[in-house]
Amino acid sequence: MRGFVLLKPEAIQRNLVGKIVCFIEDKGLKIIGLKMITATEDQIRQLYGEHQTSSHYDNLINLCANGPVVAIAIESPLGIDSAELLKDLQGKHDVSGTIRFYFSSHPSRGVLHCSSSGEGVRESSIFFNESEINNYRKVLDEWIVSNHTTASSFDSSKPRNSEPLMSRGMDGRKVDLLFNQLSM
């Protein structure tokens, strides 16, 4: 399921892009589109359309349209809703381990926008053409899936050496740690 992240100009000015990308990848999310642009006011208005009646709407538009931003389209493995992972990743200013906790300079001022559930495709289409989205398989995705099959789904007729490369010789503990991290 596709999600979308927009790193606001403050993240770029404070050299946080690489750190935030690491947070995203460490959460197990796959980056399928990434670019730095100077967003137009129209793009930002489309992104934040549901906040038009909010008192901080104009400030939000000005903040996001006053410098370069980094647009990131993401996917999550195993059919996990990427929006839920993004919500946990973005977090609140006072919750340890979240992007806002580590990088926001003020409780009301986030350094990124994360899509809500069901909004990832719409929001990413504001900043990406479909030709700019890279759909690819990661070996890690297959490794996670292959190590979480049940005994009844194991096909004993399949030669052992046909398993995905990274799952050979693994005892399951590492994948369980990663899977638990993904489902947190």
CATH of the domain at 9: 3.30.70.141
**Same domain for 102 and 148?**
no
**Same domain for 110 and 164?**
no
Spatial separation of the C-alpha atoms in residues 80 and 82, rounded to whole Å: 6
**Same domain for 61 and 24?**
yes
Provide the domain limits for residue 150: 139-183
Buried b (16+ CB within 10 A) or exposed e, 71-100: bbbbbbbeebebbbbbbebbbebeeeebbb
**Same domain for 147 and 127?**
no
Structural domain ending residue among the three candidates 132, 153, 174: 132
DSSP 8-state assignment for residue 116: P
**Same domain for 106 and 18?**
yes
**Same domain for 79 and 126?**
yes
Spatial separation of the C-alpha atoms in residues 35 and 73, rounded to whole Å: 9
**Same domain for 82 and 127?**
yes
Question: Given 51, 106, 113, 148, which residue is catalytic?
Answer: 113
Active-site residue flag, 113: yes
User: How many helices, marked H, and strands, marked E, lie in the chain?
Assistant: 9, 4
Spatial separation of the C-alpha atoms in residues 17 and 5, rounded to whole Å: 12
Q: Which of 81, 78, 73, 71 is nearest to 1 (CA)?
A: 81
Count of the separate structural domains present in the chain: 2
**Same domain for 84 and 20?**
yes
Using CA atoms, how far residue 53 sits from 118, 134, 183, in Å, is 21, 35, 34
**Same domain for 28 and 96?**
yes
pLDDT in tens, the chain (184 residues): 889 999 999 999 999 999 999 888 888 889 999 999 999 999 999 999 888 888 888 988 988 988 999 999 998 876 666 666 676 676 666 666 677 776 776 656 778 888 888 898 999 999 999 999 998 888 776 665 545 443 333 344 444 343 333 333 334 444 444 444 544 5
**Same domain for 102 and 26?**
yes
Structural domain ending residue among the three candidates 115, 132, 149: 132
In three-state secondary structure terms, 48 is: coil
Q: pLDDT value at position 100? A: 72
**Same domain for 49 and 127?**
yes
